[in-house]
Structure 1
Amino acid sequence: MFKTILVPTDGSILSDKAIVAAIEFAKFANGKVIGLSVAEPYPFSPMAESTMAADPGTYEENMLALAQLHVQKVADAAKAAGVPCEILTAQAFNPDEEIITAAEKYGCDVIFMASHGRSGLSRLFLGSKTQRVLAHSTIPVLVLR
């Protein structure tokens, strides 16, 4: 049975569904939840240096603070349900790699995550973080839509 559930969140409504499902499952299985939010670093481009609008340090601090707010939702929901929970934030250009690394590091049995349902050209150009987690994870991944 799945006892340690990783639930990555980006703060979206779909991620909120994954949080609810993960907590309900953890409560049923007497398990725990690991909440993760990955902040993407400042998208620095040497070509655009003269047109930088924001301070990279401030941008990254703000993104990490936002990620902390996202995982706090996981912690608050878990506490309300009486489910043990740990939360963490990370900073990376490839959130899918951070998700897989966190699952390994915390000994997770399953990953509950949302899919934003992109298809066609937008999926081709934007890529799918969920799809990459599915392709590279060694543990089961439950995708919610």
Structure 2
Amino acid sequence: MRVLLPVDGSEVSMGAVHLALRMHGNGLRMEAVLANVQEPATLYELLVMHDPEAVDRISAQAGLDALAPARALLDAAGLQYECEVAKGDPAHTLVEISERFGCDMVIMGASGMSGLRSAMLGSVSNEVLHASGVPVVIVKPDSSEG
């Protein structure tokens, strides 16, 4: 089974990685696709930097940095994985990555937005849940924290 694990550096996205590792430890044979989606540069960033390639390099490095803790956990567990850092709208890009890598499931963290705010703005996890052609497991923030 190939599982997409979107990681943005947040605790809740790492909670999704921990859930995948527990599932693997309980006998689910899987390989993972770690993904990070960087939003495109703003016009201000492009004007200040004067170098779109430099902005792309910085964005790619930020994505790799966000994936580093998850990579360390998967390496320690001996779980096979691939990494993808992409740029674009997070929800649509994650669905595209899931399709391109042939993922059978997505395990991702919830944003932790309130119900009203989520209904008004939509969240990445909610959009992926509705747009994905494969099952999506959403890990909620630990309510005991905070």
TM-score tier, shorter chain, comes to: 0.7 to 0.9
Normalised to the residue count of structure 2, the TM-score between the two structures is: 0.82
Uncovered stretches (5+) of structure 1, i.e. residues with no partner: none
AA of the residue aligned to 1:130 = S
Q: Which one of the candidate residues 24, 27, 34 is aligned to 1:26?
A: 24
CA contact (8 A) 1:72 1:87 kept: no
Count the aligned residue pairs. Answer: 137
AA of the residue aligned to 1:96 = A
Tell me what 1:40 maps to: 39
Uncovered stretches (5+) of structure 2, i.e. residues with no partner: 141-146
What displacement does 1:24 show?
2.5
CA contact (8 A) 1:26 1:32 kept: no
Tell me what 2:127 maps to: 132
Normalised to the residue count of structure 1, the TM-score between the two structures is: 0.83
| Residues 82-93 of structure 1: pairs in structure 2 closer than 5 A | 82-92=78-88
CA contact (8 A) 1:5 1:26 kept: no
Identity %: 26
Cα distance change of structure 1 residues 76 and 128 upon mapping to structure 2, 3 Å threshold: same
RMSD, aligned α-carbons? 2.1
CA contact (8 A) 2:4 2:106 kept: yes
Cα distance change of structure 1 residues 40 and 55 upon mapping to structure 2, 3 Å threshold: farther
